[in-house]
């Protein structure tokens, strides 16, 4: 790897762990980076045939027979682990200890034995933070960097909102965010032992991450340090297990939740008195709802990531547009559609991968790093404690 802290140009050798949904869009967007050479060195996956096919389709130079073989490859500078949440800590720590930068998907880590009473939810909060702190300790001793793959921070709409707030020099009073789907692509996300939470965690982490980022940046501008979260109040539910839902015979909403909630909301209070309202769900038809509104003292900013009206299209029949992509998780192609001309770009994926590659080459900190990952863990597990005790919960911030 060539490195010049004043010039991001150079080569970063990337190895991928996993070959599923996240690995697909990560790889696609590494190939969209510019001014840097994102070299796809190799990939490991648990199914050799599928891994070989993935490598051939995307241009990875080699496949590995084990994670250890991948981590010992001197041509690899950065490891991107697209694996279930329960593997995040071990993957990150092993990668950093091997002397390589670590890219880890959201959410950062978690507690993988579900709480059943007040003491159990207190334990979840403690275990989630202990896991995050072990990852951050590994980052500190290795001299390498954790790149926390929260794409919403990099979304052009969110970054435009940040620049508008910078220009206005306006304190944020309230942020309202929503990430809602009609289910999940990943079966592991429906079971606490592999996901560490349900909709509140796996969907809410996006809007929460964006809200935290905007308050960090406001704090740096106004008081010289990030403004951090301090308390939360929350509620969760399993709406696909209600009488109202089960009274119908057929559903377009994905079901199959084992012991995770499919709806959640939290109000997050910050140390300066401002708040964020985060809504998350896996029970919404009509395609993904990915929206963020910021209310500041001198400005109001609405960010419509999905749906947005960049391209509106109408078709009388579901097969009119054939195989042309419309947008993620929409149930039909008939009628009026919010068809996104470049969904990856609007979601921030190419910008995210650009930042990670530049950080690996120059050594600078990523926009989305380990502090954000830990704060998402702290807020969300405090929210689970609140939801299950009915009490406002303080957020433990390091």
How do beta strands 11-17 and 101-105 pair? Answer: unpaired
Rounded-to-integer distance, Cα 358 and Cα 362, Å: 6
Asked whether residue 179 falls in the same domain as residue 64, the answer is: no
Whole-structure pTM value? 0.94
Asked whether residue 167 falls in the same domain as residue 82, the answer is: no
Tell me, yes or no, whether 5 lies in a domain: no
Asked whether residue 21 falls in the same domain as residue 164, the answer is: no
Asked whether residue 79 falls in the same domain as residue 162, the answer is: no
Q: What percent of the chain has pLDDT over 70?
A: 98
Tell me, yes or no, whether 356 lies in a domain: no
CA geometry: angle at 383 spanning 381 and 385, to 5°?
75
Q: Average pLDDT in the 314-327 region?
A: 92
Residue at a domain's end among 125, 151, 177: 151
Asked whether residue 92 falls in the same domain as residue 165, the answer is: no
Rounded (to 5) percent helix, strand, coil in the chain: 40, 20, 40
- The verdict on whether omega for the bond into residue 307 sits within 30 degrees of 0, i.e. cis, is yes
Asked whether residue 189 falls in the same domain as residue 99, the answer is: no
Tell me, yes or no, whether 215 lies in a domain: yes
Indicate whether 1 pLDDT > 90.
no
Question: Cβ-count burial of 335 within 10 angstroms (0-12 exposed, 13-18 middle, 19+ buried)?
Answer: exposed
Residue 330: how many CB atoms within 10 A of its CB? 18
Q: Average pLDDT in the 282-294 region?
A: 94
> Which two tokens mark 42?
């190799």
Cβ pair 214, 162 in contact under 8 A? yes
Cβ pair 29, 353 in contact under 8 A? yes
**Cα of 235 vs its chain's centroid, Å:** 21
C-alpha dist (Å) from residue 291 to 147, 167, 184, 185, 305? 24, 22, 18, 20, 6
Q: What percent of the chain has pLDDT over 90?
A: 89
How do beta strands 172-180 and 146-149 pair? Answer: unpaired
Asked whether residue 161 falls in the same domain as residue 143, the answer is: no
Residue at a domain's end among 120, 151, 182: 151
Q: Which of 368, 81, 9 is nearest to 1 (CA)?
A: 9
Q: What is the count of structural domains for the chain?
A: 2
Asked whether residue 122 falls in the same domain as residue 159, the answer is: no
Indicate whether 5 pLDDT > 50.
no
C-alpha dist (Å) from residue 260 to 180, 238, 257, 263? 15, 8, 6, 9
Residue 7: per-residue pLDDT: 59
Residue 119: per-residue pLDDT: 97
Question: Per residue in 148-168, pLDDT tens?
Answer: 999 999 999 999 999 999 999
Rounded-to-integer distance, Cα 245 and Cα 248, Å: 6
Secondary element (H or E) of residue 300: strand 300-306
Q: What does pLDDT average to over the chain?
A: 95
Tell me, yes or no, whether 140 lies in a domain: yes
Residue 6: per-residue pLDDT: 54
Tell me, yes or no, whether 371 lies in a domain: no
Identify the domain containing residue 273 by its residue range. 153-351+378-394
Asked whether residue 186 falls in the same domain as residue 314, the answer is: yes
Indicate whether 4 pLDDT > 50.
no
Indicate whether 2 pLDDT > 80.
no
Tell me, yes or no, whether 42 lies in a domain: yes
Residue 186: per-residue pLDDT: 83
Q: Which residues contact 41 (CB under 8 A, 6 or more apart)?
A: 13, 14, 15, 60, 61, 62, 73, 75, 76
Q: Which residues pair with 263 in a beta bridge?
A: 237, 281
Residue 237 has φ and ψ, to the nearest 5°, of -160, 160
Indicate whether 42 pLDDT > 70.
yes
Residue at a domain's end among 131, 151, 171: 151
Indicate whether 70 pLDDT > 80.
yes
Question: Per residue in 221-270, pLDDT tens?
Answer: 999 999 999 999 999 999 999 999 999 878 888 899 999 999 999 999 99
Tell me, yes or no, whether 231 lies in a domain: yes
Asked whether residue 169 falls in the same domain as residue 185, the answer is: yes
Rounded-to-integer distance, Cα 32 and Cα 347, Å: 14
Q: Which of 290, 384, 359 is nearest to 101 (CA)?
A: 359
Rounded-to-integer distance, Cα 261 and Cα 198, Å: 5
Rounded-to-integer distance, Cα 229 and Cα 210, Å: 13
Which range of 198-207, 245-254, 339-348 scores highest in mean pLDDT? It is 198-207
Q: Average pLDDT in the 201-223 region?
A: 97
Asked whether residue 227 falls in the same domain as residue 306, the answer is: yes
Residue 3: per-residue pLDDT: 45
Indicate whether 34 pLDDT > 70.
yes
Tell me, yes or no, whether 93 lies in a domain: yes
Asked whether residue 162 falls in the same domain as residue 223, the answer is: yes
> Which two tokens mark 242?
């209600």
Indicate whether 87 pLDDT > 70.
yes
Rounded-to-integer distance, Cα 98 and Cα 71, Å: 6
Residue 257 sits in a domain whose CATH number is 3.30.360.10
Residue 17 sits in a domain whose CATH number is 3.40.50.720
Q: Average pLDDT in the 5-32 region?
A: 90
């Amino acid at each position: 790897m060539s490195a010049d802290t004043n010039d991001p140009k150079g080569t970063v050798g990337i190895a991928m762990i996993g070959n599923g949904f996240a690995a697909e869009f990560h790889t696609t967007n590494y190939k969209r980076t510019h001014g840097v050479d994102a070299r796809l060195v190799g990939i490991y996956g648990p199914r050799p045939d599928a891994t070989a096919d993935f490598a051939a389709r995307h241009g990875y130079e080699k496949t590995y027979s084990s994670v250890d073989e991948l981590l010992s490859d001197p041509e690899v500078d950065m490891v991107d682990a697209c694996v279930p949440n329960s593997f995040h800590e071990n993957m990150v720590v092993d990668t950093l200890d091997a002397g390589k930068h670590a890219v880890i998907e959201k959410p950062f880590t978690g507690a993988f034995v579900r709480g059943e009473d007040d003491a159990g939810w207190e334990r979840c909060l403690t275990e989630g933070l202990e896991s995050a702190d072990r990852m951050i300790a590994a980052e500190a001793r290795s001299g390498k960097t954790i790149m926390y793959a929260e794409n919403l921070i990099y979304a052009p709409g969110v970054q435009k909102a940040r620049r508008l707030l910078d220009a206005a020099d306006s304190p944020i009073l309230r942020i309202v965010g929503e990430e809602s789907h009609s289910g999940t692509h990943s079966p592991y996300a429906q079971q606490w032992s592999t996901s560490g939470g349900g909709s509140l965690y796996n969907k809410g982490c996006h809007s929460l991450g964006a809200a935290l980022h905007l308050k960090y940046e406001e704090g740096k501008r106004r008081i010289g340090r990030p403004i951090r979260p301090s308390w939360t109040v929350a509620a969760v539910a399993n709406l696909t297990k209600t009488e109202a839902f089960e009274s119908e015979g057929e559903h377009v909403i994905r079901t199959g939740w084992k012991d995770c909630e499919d709806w959640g909301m939290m109000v997050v209070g910050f140390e300066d008195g401002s708040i964020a309202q985060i809504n998350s769900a896996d029970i919404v038809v009509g395609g993904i709802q990915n929206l963020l509104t910021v209310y500041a003292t001198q400005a109001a900013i609405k960010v419509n990531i999905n749906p947005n009206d960049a391209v509106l299209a109408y078709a009388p029949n579901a097969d009119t547009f054939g195989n042309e992509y419309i947008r993620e998780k929409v149930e039909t192609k008939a009628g009026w559609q919010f068809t996104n001309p470049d969904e990856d770009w609007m979601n921030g994926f190419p910008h995210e991968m650009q930042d990670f590659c530049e950080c690996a080459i120059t050594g600078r900190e990523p926009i989305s790093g380990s502090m954000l990952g830990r704060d998402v863990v702290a807020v969300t597990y405090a929210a689970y404690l609140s939801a299950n005790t009915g009490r406002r919960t303080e957020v433990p911030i390091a």
